[in-house]
Chains A and B, each alone.
Chain A
Amino acid sequence: MQLALQAVRVAYGGPDIVKGVSLGLAGGTIGCLLGPSGCGKTTLLRAIAGFEPVVSGEIRLGGRRVAGSGVMVPPEKRRVGMVFQDLALFPHLSNADNIAFGLRHLDTRQRRRRVAELLALINLEESGTLYPHQLSGGQQQRVALARAMAPRPELLLLDEPFSSLDMEIREKLAREVARLLKQEELTALLVTHDQFEAFAMADEIGVLREGELVQWDSAYNLYHRPHNPFVADFIGEGVLLPGVVKEGGVVATGLGDLRRGRRRSAVMTGWGRRRAAGSGCWCGPRR
C-alpha cells in the first residue's frame, strides 16, 4: 500500500475530529474522501500532509512511518504534494516560478526542463511568464496541480480542489485532472463534498461521517452496495422504505417481501441492481 492509515485519531485539543480511521490506498490509484462539511475529511488530509499531529494510530507512506508512536515527520520531509482549496499560488512569483518552487534540488537546466514539461502537460506552455492573477480560475487550478506534481511526490493530496470553479468546468476539469494523474502514475487522495467530483475522479471512495469512515470501497460498490442509509442518501438520492426483517434474510416491506439481504445484521438491505441513477430503493427496520 502506498498510503496506509491505521486507526488514526486527530483532535484539536478537544474531542476527536477524526475518530480512528483506517484505510489503504494502492500505488497509482486515486482515492477520495467524501462527506458533508465538518465531517473531518480536511482534518484527516492535513494530518496525512503533516500539518496536524495524530493523537493515536499511525500513518505510513510507501511503507515508511510518518506519523504515530512518537514519530512526526514534518510536512517538508514527507514527499507529499498538495493542492489547496484556495490554491495558495504565490502571487509574487510567475506561474513557471510557482511550479519550480519545489524543485530546488534540481540544477537550473533540469528544473527548466521539468517546468516546461509540466506547463505542456497542463496545456499552458505560453503562460509560464505570466502571473497567477492573469489566468482564469481553471487555468490557476491547473498551475496549482502542476506545482504540486512537480517534485514527483509519493502521494498527491487534493483538498476540495474544484470548489471555487463553476459547475460546468468543474466536472470537465475533474476528468482532465484524473487523466493527468493516471498519465503520471501518481497516487492521489482527494477530499470533496461533491459526489460527482468523486465519481468522476476516484477509483476508491470513502464516506466520512462525523469523523468516522463509514465505508471505504470501490465507486461501484459504494453506489450499488452502500452499507447504511447515510451512505445511500449521500451518494444518490435514496428512497427509504420501512421494512421488517423476517426469517432467512427476507425483509417485509409495504411493497412486498424482499430477499436480496445478504448482510448478516440485516439492518439495511440494498435492493435492485438495475436502478436508474439516483432512484435506489431502500428499506430499514421498523422500530
Chain B
Amino acid sequence: MIPPLRQLFRGGGASSRPVDVWTLGVPLLALLLAGPVLVVLASVLQPAGEVWHHLVATVLRDYITNSLLLLLGVGSGTLLLGVSGAWLCTMCRFPGRRFFQWGLLLPLAMLAYIIAYTYTGLLDFSGPLQTALRAWFDWGYGDYWFPEIRSLPGAVAMLSLVLYPYVYLLTRAAFLEQSVCVLEASRTLGCGPWRSFFRVALPLARPAVIAGLTLALMETLADFGTVQYFGVDTFTTGIFRTWYGLGDLTAATQLAALLMIFVLVLIILEHRSRRRARYHHSGQRHQELPGYHLKGGRAAAAFLVCLLPLLLGFLLPAAQLVVWAVATWEQSFDAGFLALAGNSLLLAAAAALLTLLLALLLAYGKRLRPTPLIRAAVRVAGMGYAVPGLVIAIGVIIPFAWLDHTVDRWLQGHFGISSGLLLSGTVAALLFAYVARFMAVALHTVEAGLGKVRSSMDDAGRILGMRPLGVLRRIHLPIIRGSLLTALLLVFVDVLKELPATLVLRPFNFNTLAVRAFELASDEFLAESSLAALTIVAVGILPVILLSLSIARTRAEKTGPGARSAVGDEETIVH
C-alpha cells in the first residue's frame, strides 16, 4: 500500500491498526448506499440519445423555467410565512402566542399533494366555495373570474403552506439562542425595538433562515405529487413522463442528473452563505427575550398573521379530509384498506429498522476508527437525503435491472432457465431505495445521541470493571435509547409519506397508503382517497409532537446544561 493511502486508513490519534472490519466495511457500505446517486451522475457520461435531443428542442426549457419559478415562489412564500411567524411568536406577546409556538409546526404533518387535491375539491367549479358564491350572487358559469388552483401559482401556494415550518422552526431556534445582550446593546446604541430586530436579530439569524429555506427548496425540487396533479411541467414530472411516456430510461436519467445539479447548487449556496461571517454570540447570558406587548388592533393582526398559515396549511385541509372520510367511511374502510395500511406500516417499519441498524454500524465505525476515509464515507452515505426520491428510484432501478438481466442471460445461456426479475420490482429494491434516501435522517440522530456518550465514559466503564460489550449495554444503550427511538420514528414517517420512489419501485399490485391516496385523487376520487391521506397525516403528527416536546424541553432548561443538546435534537429532527 502506498504511504498516503495508508495514512488515509489510519486515524489521527489511533495507534497503527491493521485494516479490519470497520476500515473496510464502513466505506463499502457507504459506497453501496451512495450507489443510486452515483449511477445517476454517471449517466451524464452516456451519449445523449434521440429522445434527449427531442427533450432539449421541446420541453426542457419549460422544465427549467417552471422549476425555477416554483423555487422562487416557494422560497418567497416560506420566507414570508416562516420568518413572520417566528418573529411574532418569539418577540411579541399577544393572545394565543403559546398555542401558535407549536401550532405553527402542524403543517409539517401535511403533505403538499394531499392539500393540493383537498383544495382542488374545495375550490373547483363544483366545490363548496364556488357553489356558494354562485348561489349568493346568482351567477352562472362564466359570469365571474375565479383563480385556477391547478396552476403554477397554485402549486407555489400548496408547497409554501406545507414547507414554511422548516423556515419557521430554524429561525425561531436562532432567535431563542441569541443573547439578549446584543439586542440590548443595539437598544443603547439608539435603535428602537423594531429597528433592532431588523438590524441585529434578523441578520444574526440569517444562517438559520437560509438553512430552513434550503430544506424547503430541496423538498420543492423533490416534489412530484403536487406538480403532477396540477399539471405543472417540472423536472420530476418530466422525468416520470420521459420514462413512462417516451420509454427512454437513459434520457430520464439524464434529466435526473440535471435535477441533481440543481440540488447541488442549492447546497453549495447554503454553505457559502454560512462561511462568510461568524455568527457566534459572545454573550453567555440567556434569558427570556424582551417581549413587546401588543394591544388591540396590533394583537389582532399578529393573531391573524399566525392563524392564517396554520388554518390554510393544516386546519382547513384536515377538516375537509375528515368530512370526506366520514362521508365515504363505509366504502373506503374495508378489508382492502386494512391490507393497504398493513402493507404501508410493515414496509415503513422494516425500512426504519434496517436504516437504523446500518446507521448504527456507520456511526460506530466513525466513532471507533475516525480515519479521514471513514469520516468521508459516512458523509457520502448520507448523501441520498438531498436527492429527490424519484432520482433515487431511477438510480436503484438501473443497476438492479442490469443485475437481473445479467443473471437471467447467464442462466439462459448455461442452463436454459429464465430467472425472470429477481430484484427489480421487489420489496428489496424498495427497501434499498428507502435506506439510501433516508440514511441521513437516522445517521444524524444516532450521531447526535452517540455524541452525548463521551469517550471518557467508555473508559470509566472499562476501569470500573466492565467489558466492551458491557459498556455498550449499560452505558451506551441507556444514553442513546431516546435517539434510537427518534431515528426509528422519523424514518418510519418519512417512508410512509414517500410517494415518487414508491410509485416507481413498488412490486406489481403492491400498494401503500401514499400511492393509493395519490392514485385515487388523480382519478378524481377525492373523497374516497381521504381515509388513506388522513391516516398518513395522523401518523405524520407524531414527529411534530416530538419536535414540540423537545422545544419545550429547551425552554425549560434554557439555563441548564441540557439546553444545547436539546437544540441539537431539534435540528436533527428537522434535517
Contact = CB atoms under 8 A, between A and B. Distances in A.
A85 B455 CA distance: 11
B410 to A, nearest CB: 46
Contacts of A75: 459, 462-463
B436 to A, nearest CB: 33
A278 interface: no
Given A88-B456, A88-B460, A90-B457, A133 B465 contact: no
A223 interface: no
Given A12-B15, A13-B15, A133-B562, A51 B478 contact: no
Contacts of B452: 91
A49 interface: yes
Contacts of A88: 454, 456-457, 459-460
B454 A86 contact: yes
A74 B462 CA distance: 8
Could you say which interface size class chain A belongs to? 20 to 34
Q: Is the interface of B mostly helix, strand, loop or mixed?
A: loop
A82 interface: yes
B460 to A, nearest CB: 4
A98 to B, nearest CB: 9
B466 interface: yes
Contact of A76 (B14, B15, B466, B561): B466
Given A53-B15, A90-B475, A104-B465, A133 B459 contact: no
A81 interface: yes
A12 B460 contact: no
Nearest to B458: A88
A81 B463 contact: yes
B465 A151 contact: yes
Contacts of A11: 15
Nearest to A55: B15
Given A13-B15, A133-B561, A76 B456 contact: no
B560 interface: yes
Nearest to A13: B16
B118 to A, nearest CB: 44
A89 to B, nearest CB: 8
Q: B10, B16, B459: which has the most chain A beta carbons within 10 Å?
A: B459
Contacts of A49: 459, 463
A189 interface: no
Interface in A253-275: none
A84 B464 CA distance: 12
B467 interface: yes
A128 interface: no
A234 interface: no
Contact of B464 (A86, A87, A147): A147
B475 A82 contact: no
B49 interface: no
Contacts of A92: 475, 478-479
A101 B473 CA distance: 13
B336 interface: no
A88 B13 CA distance: 20
Closest 3 CB pairs of A and B: A102-B464, A13-B16, A88-B456
Interface of A: 11-13, 49-53, 74-76, 78, 80-82, 84-88, 90-93, 101-102, 104-105, 133, 147-148, 151
Given A13-B16, A51-B462, 20 more contacts: A12-B14, A12-B15, A53-B15, A74-B462, A75-B459, A76-B464, A76-B466, A80-B463, A82-B459, A84-B459, A84-B460, A87-B456, A88-B454, A90-B475, A90-B479, A92-B475, A101-B461, A148-B464, A151-B464, A151-B465
